[in-house]
Structure 1
Amino acid sequence: MAMTALQVVFFLLFPLLAIRMGERFRVARILGPVTLCYLAGFLSANLPGVKLSQAASMQVSEVAVPLAIPLLLFSANVRGWPKLARPLLISFSLACVSAVLAAGLVGWGFRGETPEWWKIAGMLVGVYVGGTANMAAIGRVLEAHNETFILLNTADLAAGGVYLIFLLTFAQRVLLRFMRPFTALAHAEPFAHPGESLGTWTKSHLRDMALGFGLSGVLVAVGLGATLLVFQKLEAGPALLLITSLGIAVSLSKRVHALVGTYELGEYVLLVFCVAMGSLADLRMLSGGSVTLLLFVVAVMGLAIVLHVALSALCRIDVDSTLVCSTATIYGPALIGPVTAALRNRALVGPGLTLGLAGLALGNYLGLATAWGLRWLAGE
């Protein structure tokens, strides 16, 4: 019990250290707080002799996301979203198509390696269109083994960590060599981040942050309560959709929109999420035959990303929209904030969150369709 408490305290406080390191050390500043937090969680999970509570890590990550979403949205320029919609919708559609094609092609290639190949392909479509919840739901519908889900989730976290570091560091510069830059400058908000410098957190910031955090907690409570009332149980997709809708509606209030530091506080909550998620990637679970699943995951993720970028480039979609849509599908809503921070494009936060939630809604349908389609083609 004491170890679990220390683990949670570590999740909550390490982001402070990550921000301080970014202020004082050049390498830490280049990597950014998100990367440092993810790496800290990953390293803590893989230290010899250390056994973290997976349940505690999952609970912290599940609490952090709904709390962060309203905080990120309170300062959003909602009225400017429709002007950004077309390239985002096209790129998002291409990302979904790419995930289905990649899982189908790689799954067919792995059909002789594991009897659950078609189930795994469907589960990976679920996670690379929606999120982990979709992968779990598809696995339950297809009656995949519990060990398969655990190993897939671990492999996904390991592979996803590498791509996340790329997104947060060099992705924009690499893709700008052959893709268009983001040009909706009239609608892009200045991307200042006072919350990433602890020295700028004045009493005014803290007061407004406390008000914003309290309001976010109220919206989360309303969203969860309404979901329980309607479905008689907690459903992640509808709950996040309602919380996001409430956050958008409240952001239209001038008083809420004027609260200082709410976006930065939302980013801090996401840093807590990153530490917790990193701690779920215990590579000790990937041994023996599970290496096949790691290769399966890496192949599907890699091919899906390459296809998405190539198709977006052919359709002349800009770099920022492509990377935000890739984030929305590969990671879901949780990492939209950190990635848009790395892109220095605050205007895409709200639309990115919306598309991430759309992925959660579509993931089950596309994943199950892919799995059943592959089984039919193989005559199983």
Structure 2
Amino acid sequence: MLLYSIIQPDDTWILWAFLAGWAAVSIYLEQKYDWASKLSGAIIALVGAMLLANFNIIPTESPVYDTVWTYVVPLAIPLLLFQSNIFKIWNESGRLLIIFLLSSIGTVAGVIIAFFLLKDVIPGLYMISAMMTGSYIGGGVNFAAMAAKFEVPGETVSSTVVADNLLMAIYFLVLILIPTLNFFRRKFRTPYIDELESNTNKDENLASSYWGRKEISLKDIGLAVGSAFAIVAISFTLAEFFDGLIPSGENVNVFYNVLNGIFGDNYLMLTTLTLLSVSFFPRLFENINGAQEIGTYLIYIFFVVIGVPASLPLILQNAPLILVFVAIMVFINMLVSFTLGKAFKFSLEEIILASNANIGGPTTAAAMAISRGWTKLVGPILIVGTLGYIIGNYAGSAIGIWFSNF
């Protein structure tokens, strides 16, 4: 059930004006004021949208938001990878894969604890457990797959989606704030933050210093945007072709399912094709000025959209206990991620992005890396996070089948 809002879901231009305008305001505040720079433009974008949605000024669902997920995010990814060195990315991906898998253990531990605490008070909890395990290792694709596999009732699906959106938004805020806290800076290595701070003027706003004005031409804009559209079109077409060609599903060999997950996934294909293009034509892509700026602006629009569905009235109206269930999962994931990350000497940035990739998926993790200026980790976390889509279906299925016996 949708709540009434002043701006209606089909007020397309007004909603686009809000998304694009609030993203611009968030960037302006981040670069103008020190408090906003420390808080980050991502949080300003997200919280602003969350408040407007909860005060029923903007709708919690709209085709406009779907457009951002479908078109804006895919276009942002290649733009942000034009400066990526594939060999450096390979080195970083190995480390991130290990901490991502350790963080996945946190997701599984969280769902087991939450299930046995709440199985007597939430009906059909084994189905919710399957969906959330898939989602909190992979992403929305896995959530939908588990909902279909276990034939979850529509009401349960919608209630779980709302709880998931709210927790994801809150956890996103927590993860963005963690690098600003001295406690975590003292306890963990922070090489990417240290490098960023050493390359910026200490008397200047960090965000403003990092995003300094640079020369850009019409040719740069044309090459950046045109190349991004072409790479997305080719990648998604190829992924769709392989998805139809390679069999997948419950009764199909595990090898084919994994193969389909690798070659039939839009975002994995997009990341791979972009990195190959940049490697084969380094001079062309590395000399395009403004690609990172355009891509980052598009990601800020995505930040605004993340905050929109986090509706407290819908949670309280539909299923407050599901919110408790999801909160336990997120808390345990965080606890395991940071504990094992510390034990195995991972950096704070790697732990944060791995946990984010589990809970929010590769796009939110990449967005966080961009917002904090950890540009060397954008490509690796996209690769590692999209591999979570493959693992998610198996983990979700195993949990759902196990829990259905109780």
TM-score in terms of structure 1 length: 0.88
Paired with 2:382 and 2:239, the residues of 1 have a C-alpha distance of 19
Matches within 5 A, 1:1-380: 3-48=11-56, 50-51=58-59, 53-171=61-179, 173=181, 174-182=183-191, 200=213, 202-204=215-217, 207-231=219-243, 238-252=265-279, 253=281, 254-288=283-317, 290-341=319-370, 343-376=372-405, 378=406
- State the shift of 1:374 in Å: 1.9
Q: Deviation digits for residues 103-130 of structure 1, max 9, x if unmatched?
A: 1121121110122111111111111111
In the TM superposition, what whole-angstrom CA distance separates every residue of 1:252-276 from its partner, at most 9, and x where no partner exists? 1221122112122211111111112
1:293 to partner: Cα distance: 0.7
Q: Residues 279 and 219 of structure 1: is their aligned pair in 2 closer, same or farther, counting only changes over 3 Å?
A: same
Shift in CA distance, 259/151, structure 1 to aligned 2, threshold 3 Å: same
Which stretch of structure 1 is more off in the superposition, 103-112 or 57-66? 57-66
Question: 1:342/1:55 Cα in 2 relative to 1: closer, same or farther (>3 Å)?
Answer: closer
Q: TM-score, normalised by structure 2?
A: 0.83
Given that 1:172 and 1:343 are in contact with CA atoms closer than 8 Å, whether structure 2 keeps it comes out as no
Deviations along 1:214-240, whole A, 9 cap, x unmatched?
11111111122223334459x996111
Q: Deviations over 1:73-102 (max 9, x none)?
A: 111122112333443222111011111111
In 2, Cα distance between the equivalents of 1:196 and 1:13?
22
Q: CA deviation at 1:248?
A: 0.7
Q: Partners in 2 of 1:230 and 1:185 — Cα distance?
A: 42
Give yes or no for contact 1:8–1:60 (8 Å, CA) kept in 2: no
The DSSP-based 3-state class of the residue aligned with 1:130 is: coil
* 1:286 alignment partner, SS class: helix
Q: CA deviation at 1:298?
A: 0.8
**Is the CA contact (8 Å cut-off) linking 1:58 and 1:276 kept in structure 2?**
no
Query: What is the CA deviation profile of residues 272-320 of structure 1, one whole-angstrom value per residue up to 9, with x for unaligned ones?
Result: 1111222222222112451101111111111111112111212222222
Please, which moves more after superposition, 235-244 or 23-32?
A: 235-244
TM-fit CA distance, 1:355: 0.8
CA contact (8 A) 2:216 2:289 kept: no
Cα 1:227–1:337 shift into 2, 3 Å: closer
Distance 1:87 1:326 in 2: 14
Identity %: 23
RMSD of aligned Cα (Å) = 2.9
Contact 1:91 1:322 in 2 (8 A): yes
Structure 1: distance between partners of 2:191 and 2:36? 27
Distance in 2 (alpha carbons) for counterparts of 1:311 and 1:240? 28
Q: Do the aligned residues in 2 keep the contact of 1:108 with 1:374 (CA within 8 Å)?
A: no
Q: Does the Cα contact within 8 Å between 1:169 and 1:342 map onto a contact in 2?
A: no
1:282 and 1:92 map into 2 onto residues whose CA distance is 29
Question: Gapped runs of 5+ residues in structure 2?
Answer: 1-8, 201-205, 246-259
Residues 38 and 207 of structure 1: is their aligned pair in 2 closer, same or farther, counting only changes over 3 Å? Answer: farther
How far did residue 44 of structure 1 move?
2.5
Aligned-pair CA distance for 1:195: 10
- Cα distance in 1 for residues equivalent to 2:163 and 2:214: 38
- The 8 Å contact of residues 172 and 320 in structure 1, kept in 2 or not, is answered as no
Distance verdict in 2 for CA 1:342–1:15, change over 3 Å:
closer
CA–CA distance in structure 2, aligned partners of residues 195 and 227 of structure 1? 39
- Structure 1 gaps, min length 5: none
Q: Give the counterpart letter for 1:354 in structure 2.
A: I
CA contact (8 A) 2:126 2:403 kept: yes
User: Comparing 37-46 with 353-362, which one deviates more in the overlay?
Assistant: 37-46
Letter in 1 for 2:339: A
Q: 1:145–1:307: structure 2 CA closer, same or farther, 3 Å change rule?
A: same
Moved over 6 A (4+): 183-186, 188-196
Deviation at 1:340, TM superposition (A): 2.1
Deviation at 1:193, TM superposition (A): 6.7
SS at match of 1:108: helix
Paired positions, count: 373
